Chain A
Amino acid sequence: MEFAELIKTPRVDGVVLHRPFLPTVEGTLCLTGHHLILSSRQDNTEELWLLHSNIDAIEKRFIGSLGTIIVKCKDLRIIQLDIPGMEECLNIASSIEALSTLDSVSLMYPFFYRPMFEVIEDGWHLFSPEEAFKDLESMTDEWRLSEVNKDFTVCPSYPSLVTVPKDIDDDTLCKAAAFRHGGRFPVLSYYHKKNGMVMMRAGQPLTGTNGRRCKEDEKLINATLRAGKRGYIIDTRTIAVAQQAKARGGGFEQEANYPQWRRIHKAIERSNILQESLIKLVEACNDQSNSMDRWLSKLEASNWQSHVKEILTTACLAAQCIDRSGASVLVHGTEGTDSTLQVTSLAQIILEPACRTIRGFQALVEREWLQAGHPFQQRCAQSAYSNGKPRSEAPVFLLFLDCVWQILRQFPCSFQFNEHFLITLFEHAYASQFGTFLGNSAAESRVKLKLSRKTVSLWSWVNRPQELERFVNPLYEPNSLVIWPSVAPQSLLLWEGVFLRWNRSTKFLDEAYEEMVHIIEYNKELQNKVNSLRRQLAQLETEDSPLQTP
Chain B
Amino acid sequence: MEHIRLPKVERVQLLDRGSSRRAQVGTLYLTASHTIFVDNETEVCSEIWVLHSLVCNVEKQSVTAFGYPLLIQCKNFQVIQLIIPQENDCNDVLMSLLRLSRAKRYEELYCFSFKPNIDKAERDQAWDFIDLRAEYSRMGVPNKLWHVSPINREYRVCDTYPTDLFVPKSATLPVIVGSSKFRSRGRFPTLSYYCKETQAAICRSSQPLSGFSARCLEDEQMLEAIMKSNPGSRFMYVVDTRPKLNAMANRATGKGYESEDNYTNIKFQFIGIENIHVMRNSQQKLIEVSDLRSPSMGEFLLGLENSDWLKHIQTILTAGKFISKAVAEEGVSVLVHCSDGWDRTAQVCSVACILLDPYYRTLKGFMGTYLCDRMAFPYRYSHLDEDPKEVSPVIDQFLECVWQLMEQFPCAFEYNERFLISIHNHIHSCQYGNFVCNSEKERKDLGIREKTHSLWPHMWKNKSDFVNPLFRPDHSQTQGVLRPLTTPYCFKFWRGLYNHFDRGLHPRQSVLDCLMAVKEETQQLEELLAHCPENYSDLPASKHPLKLFKAHLSSANSPQDYTGGILSTGPKDWPVQQRETESTELSLFGDATKSSDPDNSDQESGVADFSCHSSSGGDSFPSEDSVKDADSDEAAFNTA
Do the two chains bind? Answer: yes
Measuring CB to CB, which residues of chain A are less than 8 angstroms from any residue of chain B? 262, 264, 285, 288, 290-297, 299-300, 303, 305-306, 308-309, 313, 316-317, 319-321, 324-326, 409-414, 475-477, 479, 481-494, 496, 500, 503-504, 508-509, 511-512, 515-516, 519-520, 522-523, 526-527, 529-531, 533-534, 537
Contact B411 A508 (CB under 8 A): yes
Interface string of B490-504 (1 = CB under 8 A from A): 111101000100101
Closest A residue to B512 using CB positions: A412
- Contact of A292 with B574 at beta-carbon distance under 8 Å, contacts A317-B562, A489-B295 already known: no
Does B536 sit within 8 A of A, measured CB to CB?
yes
Interface string of B558-571 (1 = CB under 8 A from A): 11101100111100
Contact A296 B305 (CB under 8 A): yes
Contact A490 B499 (CB under 8 A): yes
Contact B489 A295 (CB under 8 A): yes
Contact A512 B411 (CB under 8 A): yes
CA A148 to CA B574, docked complex, whole Å: 41
- Contact of A519 with B518 at beta-carbon distance under 8 Å, contacts A292-B488, A490-B493, A494-B489 already known: yes
Contacts of A262 in B (CB 8 A): 568
Contacts of B506 in A (CB 8 A): 486, 491
Q: Which of B511-546 contact A (CB under 8 A)?
A: 511, 514-515, 518-519, 521-522, 525-526, 528-529, 533, 536-537, 539, 542, 544-546
CA A309 to CA B515, docked complex, whole Å: 29
Contacts of B557 in A (CB 8 A): 481-484
Contact B509 A414 (CB under 8 A): yes
Contact A515 B475 (CB under 8 A): yes
Contact A520 B518 (CB under 8 A): yes
Contacts of B518 in A (CB 8 A): 519-520, 523
Contacts of A297 in B (CB 8 A): 302, 305
Contacts of B536 in A (CB 8 A): 530, 533-534, 537
**A–B pairs, 30, beta carbons within 8 Å:** A292-B305, A292-B310, A293-B305, A297-B305, A299-B301, A303-B297, A308-B297, A317-B563, A317-B566, A321-B567, A412-B510, A412-B511, A475-B546, A477-B546, A479-B553, A481-B557, A482-B557, A486-B506, A487-B560, A487-B562, A491-B507, A492-B297, A493-B492, A504-B489, A508-B477, A515-B470, A515-B475, A516-B470, A523-B522, A526-B526
- Contact of A519 with B515 at beta-carbon distance under 8 Å, contacts A297-B305, A325-B567, A490-B499 already known: yes
Contact B311 A530 (CB under 8 A): no
Contact A534 B489 (CB under 8 A): no
CA A227 to CA B402, docked complex, whole Å: 59
A299, chain B: closest CB distance, angstroms = 6
B524, chain A: closest CB distance, angstroms = 9
Does B78 sit within 8 A of A, measured CB to CB?
no
Does B368 sit within 8 A of A, measured CB to CB?
no
Contact B553 A530 (CB under 8 A): no
Contact A288 B542 (CB under 8 A): no
CA A285 to CA B557, docked complex, whole Å: 33
Contact B522 A526 (CB under 8 A): yes
Does B304 sit within 8 A of A, measured CB to CB?
yes
Contact A490 B495 (CB under 8 A): yes
Contact of A530 among B296, B301, B525 (CB under 8 A): B525
Contact B290 A288 (CB under 8 A): no
Known: A475-B511, A527-B525. 15 other contacts (CB 8 A): A299-B301, A300-B302, A316-B560, A325-B567, A410-B508, A412-B514, A477-B544, A483-B553, A484-B559, A488-B295, A488-B502, A491-B505, A508-B477, A509-B410, A523-B525
Contact of A533 among B304, B492, B533, B559 (CB under 8 A): B533
CA A439 to CA B619, docked complex, whole Å: 51
Contacts of B515 in A (CB 8 A): 516, 519-520
- Contact of A285 with B529 at beta-carbon distance under 8 Å, contacts A508-B408, A508-B410 already known: no
User: Which 8 A/B pairs are nearest by Cβ-Cβ distance?
Assistant: A489-B300, A512-B410, A295-B488, A477-B546, A296-B305, A300-B301, A526-B525, A292-B311
Contacts of B493 in A (CB 8 A): 490
Measuring CB to CB, which residues of chain B are less than 8 angstroms from any residue of chain A? 290, 294-302, 304-305, 308, 310-311, 314, 408-412, 469-470, 472, 475-477, 485, 487-493, 495, 499, 502, 504-511, 514-515, 518-519, 521-522, 525-526, 528-529, 533, 536-537, 539, 542, 544-547, 549-550, 553-554, 557-560, 562-563, 566-569, 574
- Contact of A511 with B411 at beta-carbon distance under 8 Å, contacts A292-B488, A411-B553 already known: yes
Closest B residue to A305 using CB positions: B297
Contact of B542 among A321, A494, A531 (CB under 8 A): A531
Contact B489 A503 (CB under 8 A): yes
CA A296 to CA B539, docked complex, whole Å: 53
A347, chain B: closest CB distance, angstroms = 11
Contact A537 B411 (CB under 8 A): no
Interface centre among A291, A297, A313, A479 (most CB of B within 10 A): A479
A414, chain B: closest CB distance, angstroms = 7
Contact B311 A508 (CB under 8 A): no
Contacts of A479 in B (CB 8 A): 550, 553
Contact of A410 among B502, B507, B519 (CB under 8 A): B507
Closest A residue to B297 using CB positions: A306
Contacts of A309 in B (CB 8 A): 296-297
Contact B558 A484 (CB under 8 A): yes
Closest A residue to B304 using CB positions: A296
B412, chain A: closest CB distance, angstroms = 8
Contacts of B537 in A (CB 8 A): 534, 537
Contacts of B562 in A (CB 8 A): 313, 316-317, 320, 487
Closest A residue to B515 using CB positions: A519
Contact A490 B290 (CB under 8 A): yes
CA A484 to CA B504, docked complex, whole Å: 10
CA A52 to CA B372, docked complex, whole Å: 59
Contacts of B495 in A (CB 8 A): 490-491
Contacts of A531 in B (CB 8 A): 542
Contacts of A500 in B (CB 8 A): 489
B624, chain A: closest CB distance, angstroms = 24
Contacts of A483 in B (CB 8 A): 508, 553, 557
Closest B residue to A500 using CB positions: B489
Contacts of B308 in A (CB 8 A): 292-293
CA A384 to CA B492, docked complex, whole Å: 24
B301, chain A: closest CB distance, angstroms = 4
Contacts of A503 in B (CB 8 A): 487, 489
Contacts of B310 in A (CB 8 A): 292, 296
Contact of A306 among B298, B507, B539, B549 (CB under 8 A): B298
- Contact of A285 with B547 at beta-carbon distance under 8 Å, contacts A297-B305, A487-B562 already known: no
CA A300 to CA B304, docked complex, whole Å: 10
B625, chain A: closest CB distance, angstroms = 25
Contacts of B545 in A (CB 8 A): 523
Contacts of A523 in B (CB 8 A): 518-519, 521-522, 525, 545
A495, chain B: closest CB distance, angstroms = 12
Contacts of A411 in B (CB 8 A): 507-509, 553
CA A297 to CA B491, docked complex, whole Å: 14
Contact B508 A504 (CB under 8 A): no
Contact B522 A530 (CB under 8 A): no
Interface centre among A476, A481, A490, A491 (most CB of B within 10 A): A490
Contact B550 A481 (CB under 8 A): yes
Contact B487 A288 (CB under 8 A): yes
Contact A530 B298 (CB under 8 A): no
Contact B533 A516 (CB under 8 A): no
Contacts of B301 in A (CB 8 A): 296, 299-300, 305, 489
Contact B569 A477 (CB under 8 A): no
CA A482 to CA B526, docked complex, whole Å: 36
Contacts of A526 in B (CB 8 A): 522, 525-526, 529
Contact of B533 among A410, A481, A492, A537 (CB under 8 A): A537
Contacts of B469 in A (CB 8 A): 519
- Contact of A504 with B514 at beta-carbon distance under 8 Å, contacts A413-B509, A481-B553 already known: no
Contacts of B410 in A (CB 8 A): 508-509, 511-512
- Contact of A488 with B559 at beta-carbon distance under 8 Å, contacts A297-B305, A523-B525, A530-B525 already known: no
CA A171 to CA B470, docked complex, whole Å: 62
Contacts of B491 in A (CB 8 A): 292
Contact of B514 among A326, A409, A413, A484 (CB under 8 A): A413
